[in-house]
């Protein structure tokens, strides 16, 4: 009964967070922890769900690390970084089938307790980040007055596949709301012949978007400055939709929230599974850097609880 009440409380709190402003990891973490709490009362289901919760995210890690290690070694030859990724992927792969055995030992063997604490924390963080991303990709509830499309690196001086999908998603939204103004955000990287926003503007004009409907932001160098620089085109009463890739959505919205930009997100699908997994793990890494103190503190608390 107690676990049911705690689980219900976490889920209700998550719903309150989502209703207030879903642009936070808590929008995924609280409902996820509530569901896990409910499952603790059903031993077989709890074991099965724990296997799923931990092994599936680690499978994503395994796929990404192994792929990166193989790619680095095949392209650049022998390197410490390549072997680090390859061996790391192998260790994660080995951990998954050993999970049921380790589960039986975790209460009595200290090193196994530490393994569960670390792997479990990372897995829950991955799952919560995924769920929060899905929640923030739910259908729009506003009619935008501004559509902010975030840039991505140019390929051979032109619009690459990732940026093209973002642009097509934003332009499709523009067709639904023709009075909305487009904001193209993207500066010039060291390996780019022109600012990303200029290439984005050219792409939109070729698709028939009038020049008067487009604003260019060409000074940004990363996601954080995308939002801070584009903010000058946004008024307090504007209803903004931020358009970016699915893996990039949550972190972009977190920066928007920090910049005081009230917006919702439109997630553009990225088709290549390996690229998406890789990019998602990098996004999660970037998130931990944003919360460089809070994330390690959470891991320390989890380890302490497991050792008690």
pLDDT in tens, 241-273: 999 999 999 999 999 999 989 999 999 988 776
Check pLDDT > 90 for residue 57: no
Q: Concatenate the DSSP letters of all residues of the chain into one string.
A: -HHHHHHHHHHHHHHHHHHHH--STHHHHHHHHHHHHHHTTSHHHHHHHHHHHHHHHHHHHHHHHHHHHHHHHHHH-S-HHHHHHHHHHHHHHHHHHHHHHHHHHTTT-HHHHHHHHHHHHHHHHHHHHHHHHHHHTSPP-S--SEEEEEP---BTTB--HHHHHHHHHHHHHHHHSTTSEEEEE----TT-SS-HHHHHHHHHHHTT--GGGEEEE----SHHHHHHHHGGG--TT--EEEEEEGGGHHHHHHHHHHTT--EEEEEEP---HHHHHHHHHHHHHHHHHHTTTHHHHHHHHHHHHHH-
- Angle among Cα 11, 244, 200 to the nearest 5 degrees reads 165
Over range 222-231, report the average pLDDT. 92
CA distance 253 to 31: 19
pLDDT for 11 equals: 92
Check: CB of residue 29 under 8 Å from CB of residue 35. Answer: no
CA distance 205 to 217: 16
Residue 90: band (very low, low, confident or very high) from pLDDT cuts 50, 70, 90: confident
Q: In this predicted model, what pLDDT tens digit does every residue of 149-202 receive, in sequence order?
A: 999 888 888 899 899 999 999 999 999 999 999 999 999 888 889 999 999 999
CA distance 162 to 155: 10
Over range 272-281, report the average pLDDT. 74
% of the chain at pLDDT higher than 70: 80
- Write down the mean pLDDT value for the chain: 83
Check pLDDT > 80 for residue 89: no
CA distance 10 to 230: 36
- Residue 260's alpha-carbon distances to 2, 170, 192, in angstroms, are 39, 22, 30
Check: CB of residue 37 under 8 Å from CB of residue 13. Answer: no
At 48, list the tokens: 């099965």
Residue 203: band (very low, low, confident or very high) from pLDDT cuts 50, 70, 90: very high
pLDDT for 278 equals: 73
pTM above 0.75, yes or no: yes
């Amino acid at each position: 009964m107690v676990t049911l009440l705690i689980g219900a409380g976490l889920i209700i709190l998550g719903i309150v967070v989502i209703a207030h402003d879903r642009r936070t990891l808590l929008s995924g973490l609280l409902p996820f922890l509530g569901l896990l709490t409910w499952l603790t009362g059903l031993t077989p289901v709890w074991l099965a769900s724990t296997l799923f919760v931990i092994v599936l995210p680690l499978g994503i890690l395994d796929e990404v690390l192994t792929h990166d290690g193989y790619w680095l070694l095949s392209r650049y030859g022998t390197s410490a970084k390549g072997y680090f990724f390859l061996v790391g992927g192998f260790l994660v792969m080995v951990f998954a089938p050993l999970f049921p055995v380790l589960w039986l030992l975790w209460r009595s063997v200290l090193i196994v307790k530490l393994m569960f604490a670390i792997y479990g924390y990372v897995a829950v963080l991955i799952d919560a980040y995924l769920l929060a991303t899905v929640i923030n990709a739910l259908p729009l509830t506003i009619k935008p007055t501004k559509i902010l499309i975030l840039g991505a690196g140019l390929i051979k001086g032109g619009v690459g596949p990732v940026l093209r999908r973002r642009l097509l998603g934003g332009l499709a939204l523009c067709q639904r709301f023709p009075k909305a103004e487009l904001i193209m955000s993207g500066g010039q990287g060291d390996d780019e012949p022109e600012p990303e926003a200029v290439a984005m503007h050219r792409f939109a004009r070729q698709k028939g978007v009038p020049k008067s409907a487009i604003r260019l932001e060409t000074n940004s160098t990363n996601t954080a400055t995308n939002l801070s620089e584009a903010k000058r085109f946004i008024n307090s009463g504007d209803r903004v939709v931020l358009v970016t890739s699915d893996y990039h959505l949550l972190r972009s919205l977190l920066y928007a929230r920090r910049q005081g930009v009230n917006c919702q997100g439109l997630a553009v699908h990225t088709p290549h599974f390996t690229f998406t997994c890789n990019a998602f793990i990098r996004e999660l890494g970037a998130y931990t850097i944003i919360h460089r103190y809070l994330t390690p503190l959470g891991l320390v608390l989890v380890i302490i609880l497991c050792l008690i």
